[in-house]
Structure 1
Amino acid sequence: MKQGAGAPTRRAVLGLTAGALAAPALAQARFPDRPLRLFVPWTAGSSSDVQMRSLAELAQATLGQPVVVENRPGASGTLHVQPLAASRPDGYTLGQMHLSIVRRPFLVRTPPWDAVADFTHILRLCGWMYGVAVKADSPWQDWRSFIAHAKANPGKLTFATSGIATTNHLAMEELGVREGVEFTHVPYRGSSEGMTAVLSGAVDCIADSSVWVPQVESGAMRALCVWTAERVPRLPGVPTLKELGHDMVVTSPYGISGPKGMDPGVVRALHDAFKAALFSPANTAVRAQFDMPEQYLDSEAYAGFIAQRAEYEKTMVQRLGIRLD
């Protein structure tokens, strides 16, 4: 039978059939189609862990798949970095990116990674509220009495942090230089462990993120200073470093990154989901709980920040002369 002018050819019919069959397959390949994992390099219950878990829970509502948090504490928050860099760049393995990761290549002879080249930076989230706190029954009522004791007892005062060469560790070293005193650093795997050490009397003070604030509010600890640009609303009587004569603001902004080579469409989907989570009322409340300043940057701007910060960290490490090997 002769085909009419408007009738489809056999080849066209086969093409339409193949297209119809391919469409569901393409739909099934949408990202994500299985659970994601998010490396958090701190102990469970720390301020960063609580914040990242909140983000994961909120983002999975947008992504339509679970975002499973894996805690990998230790090595100053860098134990997760090499597994992250070695993961497939498919968007299903993510990790917290922070300044210790950017800094570490400049602290060792053989850099284990390049924070600029070895990762896909998805978005910057927020920073930490750092400060120094002591046990409530300690003899130091304020920062000045603490420094006076340090000057009279060189090397005797100890401070806990979440690890060697972390932002808070280097900031305390810098403060020691500025004040003309010598502290002794006692690193722990996470800020919650450091807080416990101070409460037990094993260490004189903690210089770390705000996991210690509830202890100050309860009367178990006393804050001597905060490192934010302005005083913290929850601690209105505690001075900033600027008020104490030091032109220093230390917030150490962090974000989320994945392995290098991720598809731009996948990056966009992850960025949008975690950005929505960051600015949600639920996560805003969590950040307020830990006094974490919002410091959002999109993917392009965050990659630029990491590159710029790498140069700064290299200069700072060289100036302080700190090495890990």
Structure 2
Amino acid sequence: MSADRRRARRVHPPDRRRWLRHAAALGLGALPPRAALAADSGDFPAHPVTLWVPWPAGAATDIALRLLAELASPGLGQVLTIRNRAGAGGTLAMPVLQQARPDGYTIAQMPYPVFRVPHLQKVLWDPIRDVTPILQLSSVSFGILVATDSPLRSLDELFAYARAHPGELSIATNGVATTPHVVLEKLFTARGLRYIHVPYKGTVEQLNAIASGQVMAGVSSTGFGPAVDAGTLRLLALCSAQRSRRWPQVPVLRELGFDIVANSPYGLAGPRGLPPDRLSVLHDAFKEALSAPRFHALLAEYDQQVDYLGPHAYAQSCREIFAQERAAMQQFGLGAQH
């Protein structure tokens, strides 16, 4: 082959995408995100999308998102792959979004704690700056539980035990700085009552610990519904604004004299800079999946319902929640340690 032909091949690579892969492998420099997206031509999505769930497999939210992913896959024309990254109160998907390419192939659940944790400790990610909200899906409410055979049969009896046995009442939540943990602080610490906080990575381990007597009580999301209906757990009070039609005999905290309503709206988000056309494809597929009777039936099993917001409304809600959590943490005298 002549020198001229070899030089021509170097200047005009016949397969630009293959050339880009070789360049990356040889360390010839990273493309800017937009340039990388431009190189990744073709219809979106062209291969499976990964949905990161920041809870253990088998948790109520994990089960709901797995069904939603199954229902959304036909609309995308691709499989949605679930990846679990549990721990740190549901915030471990945030670094994934922060570091992912904004190409639509990496998305994650946005649980409520991601708006609180940055006000409590130093983190490298920001729930407003580093994400593109796709849509809000539902809201999780919470309840205070004991094992069915527990001698503690009311919230007053929990308080009485805490007064009589300072620092001996063990109460489980699904993580430090989660909404159940904040509820405990409002109910106990704010009244000078001591308890042992036992955080778990997710609701499955937490509910098993309550039912088996490893802990004396717990504040958990409504993933506890099947266990309450089966008679494994006793529900002492709900943290919602009104009584549940499913358990009409169970009071809410407001009825018991505590001005506490706790719920955690959640949705899906992609990395910052997600192109509008890809955002639209993802949103439309998940919105269609939300209307499926199977999904509504599963949410009802966990005493939830669809609470939809589109991209713009969800983004605005995220900003408002972030500001509200900042004010709440300041009110408690808490703040990030920098």
Name the residue aligned to 1:220.
232
Structure 2: 5+ residue stretches without partners:
1-40
Name the residue aligned to 2:211.
199
1:140 to partner: Cα distance:
1.2
2: CA distance, partners of 1:324 / 1:188: 22
Q: Alignment partner for residue 36 of structure 1, among 31, 44, 49?
A: 49
Name the residue aligned to 1:306.
318
| 1:92 is aligned to 2:105 | yes
1:285 to partner: Cα distance:
0.7
Determine helix, strand or coil for the equivalent of 2:161. helix
Q: Which deviates more, 146-155 or 97-106?
A: 146-155
Q: Which deviates more, 282-291 or 137-146?
A: 137-146
| 1:256 is aligned to 2:275 | no
Give the counterpart letter for 2:183 in structure 1: A
Name the residue aligned to 2:58.
45
Q: Does the CA-based 8 Å contact 2:225-2:301 persist in structure 1? A: no
Q: Does the CA-based 8 Å contact 1:46-1:190 persist in structure 2? A: yes
Q: Alignment partner for residue 185 of structure 1, among 197, 202, 210?
A: 197
Cα gap change, 1:324 to 1:203, in 2 (>3 Å): farther
For 1:9-20, list aligned pairs within 5 A. none
Name the residue aligned to 1:3.
none
Q: Alignment partner for residue 163 of structure 1, among 175, 180, 190?
A: 175
1: CA distance, partners of 2:310 / 2:128: 16
TM-score, scaled relative to structure 2: 0.84
| 1:75 is aligned to 2:94 | no
Q: Alignment partner for residue 104 of structure 1, among 117, 124, 134?
A: 117
| 1:139 is aligned to 2:151 | yes
2: CA distance, partners of 1:231 / 1:103: 26
Q: Which deviates more, 46-55 or 149-158?
A: 149-158
TM-score, scaled relative to structure 1: 0.87
Q: Alignment partner for residue 246 of structure 1, among 234, 241, 258?
A: 258
| 1:294 is aligned to 2:300 | no
2: CA distance, partners of 1:74 / 1:41: 7
Q: Does the CA-based 8 Å contact 2:119-2:336 persist in structure 1? A: no
Determine helix, strand or coil for the equivalent of 2:163. helix
Give the counterpart letter for 1:125 in structure 2: L
Q: Alignment partner for residue 74 of structure 2, among 61, 78, 86?
A: 61
Determine helix, strand or coil for the equivalent of 1:269. helix
1: CA distance, partners of 2:332 / 2:198: 18
Name the residue aligned to 1:268.
280
Q: Does the CA-based 8 Å contact 1:147-1:179 persist in structure 2? A: no
Name the residue aligned to 1:316.
328
2: CA distance, partners of 1:320 / 1:289: 35
Give the counterpart letter for 1:75 in structure 2: A
Q: Which deviates more, 258-267 or 291-300?
A: 291-300
2: CA distance, partners of 1:231 / 1:183: 27
1: CA distance, partners of 2:123 / 2:56: 25
2: CA distance, partners of 1:180 / 1:226: 22
Q: Does the CA-based 8 Å contact 2:145-2:235 persist in structure 1? A: yes
Where do 4+ consecutive residues of structure 1 move more than 4 Å? 177-180, 322-325
| 1:121 is aligned to 2:133 | yes
Determine helix, strand or coil for the equivalent of 2:270. strand
Q: Does the CA-based 8 Å contact 1:118-1:260 persist in structure 2? A: yes
Determine helix, strand or coil for the equivalent of 1:309. helix
Determine helix, strand or coil for the equivalent of 1:306. helix
2: CA distance, partners of 1:235 / 1:253: 21
Q: Does the CA-based 8 Å contact 2:97-2:130 persist in structure 1? A: no
1:322 to partner: Cα distance:
4.3
Give the counterpart letter for 1:232 in structure 2: S
How many residues are matched? 298
2: CA distance, partners of 1:90 / 1:31: 9
Give the counterpart letter for 1:163 in structure 2: G
2: CA distance, partners of 1:167 / 1:293: 19
Q: Give CA-to-partner distance per residue, 1:202-227, whole Å, 9 cap, x none.
A: 11112011222222222221110111
RMSD: 1.7
1:153 to partner: Cα distance:
2.1
Name the residue aligned to 2:289.
277
